[in-house]
Amino acid sequence: MGLGQTMLTIMGLILMGRLILTINTTTLDTGFTKDLSEYRITGTSLGTSMLEKASNLAFDETTVEMEITLASSLTSSGSLGKDAGESTEAQFDDIDDYHNYSVTEALTGSATFKTNVTVQYVSIASNSISISGSQQFAKLLSVNITSPYLVDYSVDPPRPDTLRFQQIFSYWYFR
């Protein structure tokens, strides 16, 4: 084998090594993207499920059994949260029972997700929505999902990410 053939063989090995390295890198990047997407989809499912569960409940403890016409009849802002005797989520009967609710779930293999929920009264005027310290006929339910597997890689260095979901629930009384 001459010098030309040896050089061609070495160049062929270098090109093949580069090709294998490129394929392995692409495969790893694809797997990473698939895993990250799976964690985000699972977190999104948890957040939307929490909103759906809350939407099946009464607007307020006072509206569980009767209809009201005055906002002052609703639970005060400082008393939002679980009522006496409601120790588990299955016992919740109105939206504000979710205020300061927190749960950690192990899903998708070994991934854990923490769900934090807050409920606040909001006032709606013109085209603006603002948090209100007094009773209103609208409540904002905010759900935050966190996990060690939810990471924002769009910044350098990467940082933990939070999935946020919000929905406004309104109470309507028609005569």
For the cut 70, the answer to whether the pLDDT of residue 116 exceeds it is: yes
DSSP state of 129: E
* The total number of structural domains that make up the chain: 1
- What range defines the domain where residue 141 resides? 3-170
**Where residue 146 falls among pLDDT bands split at 50, 70, 90?**
very high
Assess whether pLDDT exceeds 80 at residue 102. Answer: yes
- Residues in a beta bridge with 80: none
For 46, the 3-state DSSP assignment is helix
Record the tokens describing residue 122, joined without a space.
């909001």
Residue 35 in domain: yes
Q: Is the peptide bond before 148 cis (omega within 30 degrees of 0)?
A: no
R_g (Cα) of the chain, nearest Å: 26
What DSSP letter does each residue of 62-127 carry, written as one string?
A: GGTTS--S-GGGSPPGGG-SPPTT--SGGG--BGGGGTTEEEEEEETTTEEEEEEEEEEEEEEETT
Q: Comparing 38 with 140, which gets the higher pLDDT?
A: 140
Which pTM was predicted?
A: 0.79
Q: Would you say residue 58 lies in a domain?
A: yes
Q: Kindly state whether residue 50 falls inside one of the protein's structural domains.
A: yes
User: Higher confidence at residue 18 or residue 59?
Assistant: 59
For residue 175, tell me if it sits in a domain: no
